[in-house]
Structure 1
Amino acid sequence: MATIVQADVLMVDLTPKVMRTDAIQSFVSQETPIVRLTDADGRVGTGYSYTIGSGGPAIISLLRETLLPAVIGREAEEIEGIWRDLLLTTHATAVGAITSLALAAIDTALWDLRCVRAGLPLWRLAGGAKPEVPLYSTEGGWLHIDTDALVADALAMQAQGFAGSKIKIGKPTLAADRARLRAVRDAVGDDYEILVDANQSFTLSEARRRADMMAEFDIGWFEEPMPADDIGAHVQLNTVSPVPIAVGESMYSLSQFKDYLASNACTIVQADVARVGGITPWLKIAHMAEAFNVTICPHFLMELHVSLTCAVPNAPMLEYIPQLDEITTAPLKIIGGRAIAPSVAGLGIAWDWDAIDARSVAGLSAKIGGS
């Protein structure tokens, strides 16, 4: 083991390659806090987090002023202890999005450092269940995209070997959502997954109506049908829905997933490694879901989630939404519609530090410790 002697933090603000809209928001940017931890042997671990358009400076402030100073002098291999101590340090602001996103930047850096020290890729060190995972695409299914373009994208992804496409729903009428789903199903046939995402936009009664409609098209899952903090409504919906209910991108702790699973409020969990506070809690959620015979299909962050979905046995698909192309030297490796887990030691993300430095937001960088 080696102690952590220096921590560096900065933030880049990335513009999405395509317009991204859903039933409640439009993605104007991807603020990406990045943390680098250096140990006494000179080895470095890099971690990161993200927001959709706002809140990044608050995460940087929490990292710079509170969390990273508490990491200096800690043994890098004591990841569980560090995570728990940092959570207690921020108990007045946990559980919550900003705290979880800040914790995730540190925790992913610690796991990267652990893998570098061990000479192993993350997917193997974290479990080693499988070397690759099927992809489904969200990039061509945003709510503003017209029906012909939805169909064209789904056909293109199908031709590339992708397992499915996700279509955003939440049009003003059920008929409008039905028309979009019917067009895609008619085009791709029966052997291609169509998934839908409402981004928490429905009431219980409307979610029940739309779920019944989805059964007409053999929809693979109904994602975030209602506000995530209403477990009772999800229990009622999951009890009667002919379509599997998926939740998780707007949940921030292990306990929230426990409550959903124990209450039979969903059949698929979608824990986001950044929003739950890092790899340490993500793996616990994945294994807890496995104990309930439930799959985990994580939200966003495909460049990191590829290794985690390959680490565990109950993660059947990975979401395709490129995030890091502008600040990496190599994209996610895809062969025949399947994402290949990186084989290099660490997270397997090929950071482009020149591009990162050029895009770093002024006034938000800091170095803690070091000489």
Structure 2
Amino acid sequence: MAKITHVEIKMIDLVPKVKRIDAIQSFVSQETPIVILHDSDGAQGIGYTYTIGTGGPSVVALLEKTLAPALIGRDPERFEQIWRDLLYLTHATAVGAVTSLALAAIDTALWDLNCRKKGLPLWKAAGGAKDKMRLYTTEGGWLHYSKTELVENALAAKEAGFKGSKVKIGSDLVAMDRARLSAVRDAVGDEYELMTDGNQSFNLSEAIRCARMLEELNIGWFEEPMKADDVAAHVELARHSGVPIAVGESMYSLSQFKDYMQSGAASIIQVDVARIGGITPWLKTAHMAEAFNVAVCPHFLMELHLPLVCAVSNATWLEHIPQLDGVTKSGMQMVDGFGIPSREPGLGIDWDLDAINAMELVSHSVKNAA
């Protein structure tokens, strides 16, 4: 039986190549902790997590001081047991963002290691429901873009083969959002999907009013309309909305998703593998959603989410936001507007370790004392 012998922890900062502004924040930094696991067979697995903006050093500290030492000597094939044990080890800080993000770095590394040793790509190891997934782009729809820029960006995305675009909303007036969305809808036509994202900027009455406008424009979904912890408000909004309500990027546990689905507060969940705590709870959330007849359209992390949306049957879209181009040797494959998961064993991410080492801001190593 192989055992984990060595854990490397690094952190890099992936600065976005384009300006990203939504209704509540400007996305200027992406601190990205990386975990490399080594076992006694000489195999390794690489996992990662992220924060939009600051917070990465807190994740790294939890990994270095608490979680990584608890991995030494463990059987890496028992990833379900390891995930549960680490959750209980950090019960004083769970459920919460920092703990979930740290767990995700380890869990994704465990899946990568096990898939590599078994010679399987993640999308097959986790179910293999599909061999491709349609893509929509977010990069051309940020809130600071003018109507003209939004139209130009959406038309360019359509020409490039994307099946849809997301437009950020949350302007000072609903009429301003209507004007921006109407211009894009008129340009791309009804056969091209448009999604919207409020980034939790609306209150209930504003969201109800906005949902009526979105329905008139045949919008595919209304994402994060209100504060993520207000389930009751989302229940009320769902009752008044003819547009699907999408939530999940700001939720950190299986139970939080259960509350939304059980109460009928959302019909699309955007579970984020980093924020839910890894691949292990991501798959549980996706399968639970299938039981509620709820679609899965994950948030961000396209390189990691591509094999996962191809693993389950109820995933319908993958968000395209390039993230890892500077630290991988080859990017995500896109053909005719569909993402194609890698056939190589592991997560399907072709890491450039030399580039990572050149960019690292933090580096720690935890080894077997023996």
TM class by shorter-chain length?
A: over 0.9
Are 1:369 and 2:367 counterparts?
Answer: yes
Q: What is the letter of the counterpart of residue 339 of structure 1? A: G
1:205-256 deviation per Cα after TM superposition (whole angstroms, max 9, x unaligned): 0000000011111000000000000000000001110100000000000000
Residue 64 of structure 1 and its aligned partner are, at CA, apart by 0.1
Superposition RMSD on alpha carbons, in Å?
0.7
User: How many angstroms does 1:142 deviate by?
Assistant: 0.4
Task: Give TM-score, length-normalised by structure 1.
Answer: 0.99
Question: Is 1:360–2:349 an aligned residue pair?
Answer: no
**Separation of aligned partners in 2, 1:278 and 1:291:** 21
- Which stretch of structure 1 is more off in the superposition, 227-236 or 155-164? 155-164
User: For residues 163 and 290 of structure 1, what CA distance do their matches in structure 2 show?
Assistant: 23
Report how far residue 157 of structure 1 moved: 1.2
Q: Which residue of 1 aligns with 2:103?
A: 103
2:277 is aligned with 1:277: yes
- Report % sequence identity: 64
Report the Cα distance in structure 2 between the residues aligned to 1:314 and 1:223, rounded to whole angstroms.
18
Q: Whole-Å Cα distance in 1 between the matches of residues 232 and 316 of structure 2? A: 27
Gaps of 5+ in 2: none
User: 3-state SS of the aligned residue for 2:51?
Assistant: coil
- Hey, what's the Cα distance between the residues in 2 that align with 1:170 and 1:239? 21
Q: Counterparts of 2:160 and 2:27 in 1: how far apart (Å)?
A: 26
Q: Which structure 2 residues correspond to residues 172-321 of structure 1 after superposition, within 5 A?
A: 172-321=172-321
More displaced stretch, 153-162 vs 3-12: 153-162
Deviation at 1:160, TM superposition (A): 2.0
The offset of 1:6, in angstroms, is: 0.5
1:319-363: CA deviation from partner (whole Å, max 9, x where unpaired): 0001110111111100111100111000010111111011000xx
TM-score normalised per structure 2: 0.99
CA distance in 2, matches of 1:105, 1:202: 32
Q: Say which SS state the counterpart of residue 102 (structure 2) adopts.
A: helix
The equivalent of 2:127 in structure 1 is 127
- SS of residue in 1 equivalent to 2:68: helix
Structure 1 CA distance, aligned partners of 2:286 and 2:141? 26
Distance 2:148 2:320 in 1: 20
Partners of 1:342 and 1:116 lie apart in 2 by: 13
Deviations 1:58-112 (A, max 9, x none): 0000000000000110000000000000000000000000000000000000000
The DSSP-based 3-state class of the residue aligned with 1:213 is: helix
Distance in structure 1 (CA, Å) of the matches to 2:154 and 2:336: 15
**1:327 aligns to what?**
327
Which one-letter code corresponds to 2:76 in the other structure?
A
Q: Give 3-state SS (helix, strand or coil) of 2:6's partner.
A: strand
The one-letter code of the counterpart of 1:309 is V
State yes or no: 1:340 paired with 2:337.
no
Where 2:342 maps in the other structure, the secondary structure is: coil
Match of 2:47, SS state, is strand
Q: Is there any run of 5+ residues in structure 1 with no aligned partner, and where?
A: none
